[in-house]
């Protein structure tokens, strides 16, 4: 990719496919139906806003070029029904759909290594507050590593919502819009649990689990208890793949059922694989939270290997050498991808003064903000490969 200035040397059509030879000697093939369907003329739609006027049902499935010619700028086609289309060279290159082109375009996550674990990306609030470039860099780190910290924010409630609103819309759920995690014996909350919380992803029992999570530490436990833990779920998954490819495969192929039931309020059930991979085998999501796992219902011949893979993955998730451990300071913000990063905490003292504000942002809004910020800053977007999420 990236070779933006290639030109088509020749173009020809056979077997309902247009073949283009590029100036670097490479070839691309486009099906006639695909080309007709993606006509970029004003009658067929407005590609600039992503709007299509042309209906697939209005296209002749056997459409063919009556005339075809290539110029330095692209490909001209006059169709057998007289309709005329023009496809710019760069656009054709960017949308080539052969295996290698698709494989080159997808997001290839780089698992954490020990250097990243020791010092995950961190910015100072002063460099992000009111600064679009700073915000863009934070979001890029979240995209690339799943996690980014912002330190030295004001120590007051409301900061989380103000920060989250800069790259999405806080999502409301049965827990509310802004969740206050604070020790309060009068409320049913995980914040009251003083035991350690093993690293996990949040709410896998939802059809769409929270995408990005942002939390802000308003105050913390003076005793120093209650460190936050973060792990790269993809690093754990890659370790499993290296050790036990069959166990890995079983977790990609079979669904795990998850459930959260609060009587007379919600009964959320979802069934998705614990590991999601794309067609090239790249990881694109993880749902790992055995506290809310429901009974498995998978083919019996898969059961043993599934359990073997899951047990090993959970062992990795308990391995302290794979965790980033951080005692949050008041004013610390963490932003992370809940479809990649596991979070947890070590135990709290019962009189903890720990107060966190949590917000969730939909992943589509997060990626949209990355693209729009890049446009506004005049930077290359570089945000199109995206992590699809834990959707199987």
How far apart are the C-alpha atoms of 217 and 378, rounded to whole Å?
33
x/- mask, Zn ion, residues 178-217, rule CB under 5 A, reads ----------------------------------------
Q: Structure tokens of 90?
A: 């760069």
Nearer to Fe ion, 341 or 370 (CB): 341
Contact 212, 366 (CB under 8 A): yes
Nearer to Fe ion, 342 or 387 (CB): 342
| Binding partner of 9, given Fe ion, Zn ion, none, CB within 5-8 angstroms per partner class | none
Contact 254, 290 (CB under 8 A): no
235 binds Fe ion (CB under 5 A): no
| Binding partner of 213, given Zn ion, Fe ion, none, CB within 5-8 angstroms per partner class | none
Nearer to Zn ion, 39 or 283 (CB): 39
| Binding partner of 202, given Fe ion, Zn ion, none, CB within 5-8 angstroms per partner class | Fe ion
How far apart are the C-alpha atoms of 279 and 204, rounded to whole Å?
22
Shortest Å, Cβ 202 to Fe ion: 4
Nearer to Zn ion, 67 or 377 (CB): 67
Taking CB under 5 A as the criterion, the residue among 6, 39, 128, 251 binding Zn ion is 39
Provide the 3-class DSSP secondary structure of residue 322: helix
Q: Structure tokens of 26?
A: 């490479």
Provide the 3-class DSSP secondary structure of residue 365: helix
Beta bridge partners of 200: 343
Stretch binding Zn ion (CB under 5 A), from 17-25, 40-48, 199-207, 319-327: 40-48
Categorise residue 15: left if φ over 0, alpha if ψ from -120 to 50, beta otherwise.
Answer: left
Strands 122-124 and 147-151: parallel
Nearer to Fe ion, 202 or 332 (CB): 202
337 binds Fe ion (CB under 5 A): no
Nearer to Fe ion, 202 or 337 (CB): 202
How far apart are the C-alpha atoms of 275 and 250, rounded to whole Å?
9
Taking CB under 5 A as the criterion, the residue among 6, 20, 32, 44 binding Zn ion is 44
Shortest Å, Cβ 40 to Zn ion: 7
Stretch binding Zn ion (CB under 5 A), from 39-47, 71-79, 163-171, 339-347: 39-47
- Kind and range of the H or E run holding 302: helix 300-317
Provide the 3-class DSSP secondary structure of residue 324: strand
Per rule CB under 5 A, count of chain residues that contact Zn ion: 3
Taking CB under 5 A as the criterion, the residue among 8, 74, 89, 202 binding Fe ion is 202
DSSP 222-271: TT----EEEEEHHHHHHHHHHH-HHHHHHHHHSEEEEEEEETTTEEEEEE
41 binds Zn ion (CB under 5 A): yes
Shortest Å, Cβ 60 to Zn ion: 13
| Binding partner of 44, given Fe ion, Zn ion, none, CB within 5-8 angstroms per partner class | Zn ion
How far apart are the C-alpha atoms of 191 and 184, rounded to whole Å?
8
Q: Which residues bind Zn ion (CB under 5 A)?
A: 39, 41, 44
Which residues contact Fe ion by CB under 5 A? Answer: 202
């Amino acid at each position: 990719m990236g070779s933006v200035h290639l030109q088509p040397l020749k173009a020809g059509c056979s077997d309902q496919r247009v073949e283009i030879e590029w100036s670097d000697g490479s070839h691309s093939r486009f099906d006639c139906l695909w080309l007709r369907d993606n006509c970029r003329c004003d009658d067929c739609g407005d590609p600039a806003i992503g709007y299509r006027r042309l209906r697939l049902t209005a296209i002749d499935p056997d459409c063919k070029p009556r005339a075809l010619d290539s110029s330095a700028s692209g490909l001209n086609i006059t169709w057998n029904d007289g309709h005329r289309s023009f496809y710019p060279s760069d656009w054709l290159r960017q949308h080539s759909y052969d295996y290698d082109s698709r494989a080159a375009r997808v997001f290839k996550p780089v698992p954490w290594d020990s250097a990243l674990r020791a010092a995950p990306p961190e910015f100072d609030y002063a460099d992000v507050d009111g600064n679009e470039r700073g915000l863009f860099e934070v979001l890029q780190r979240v995209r690339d590593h799943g996690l980014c910290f912002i330190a030295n924010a004001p120590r007051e409630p409301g900061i989380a919502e103000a920060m989250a609103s800069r790259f999405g819309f806080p999502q409301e759920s049965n827990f509310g819009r802004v969740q206050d995690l604070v020790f309060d014996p009068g409320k049913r909350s995980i914040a009251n649990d003083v035991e350690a919380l093993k690293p996990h992803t949040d709410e896998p029992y939802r059809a769409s689990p929270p995408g990005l999570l942002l939390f802000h530490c308003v105050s913390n436990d003076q005793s120093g208890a209650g460190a936050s833990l973060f792990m790269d779920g993809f690093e754990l998954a890659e370790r499993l793949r290296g050790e036990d490819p069959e166990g890995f495969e079983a977790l990609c192929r079979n669904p795990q059922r998850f459930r959260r039931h609060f009587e007379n309020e919600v009964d959320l059930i979802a069934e998705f694989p614990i590991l999601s991979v794309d067609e090239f085998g790249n990881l694109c999501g993880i749902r790992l939270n055995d506290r809310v796992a429901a009974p498995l219902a998978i083919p019996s011949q898969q059961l043993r290997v599934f359990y073997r893979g899951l047990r090993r993955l959970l062992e990795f998730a308990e391995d302290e050498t794979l965790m980033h451990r951080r005692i949050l300071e008041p004013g610390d913000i963490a932003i992370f991808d809940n479809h990649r990063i596991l979070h947890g905490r070590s135990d709290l003292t019962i009189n903890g003064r720990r107060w966190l504000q949590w917000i969730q942002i939909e992943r589509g809004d997060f990626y949209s903000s990355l693209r729009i910020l890049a446009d506004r800053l005049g930077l290359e977007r570089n945000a199109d490969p995206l992590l699809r999420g834990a959707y199987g």
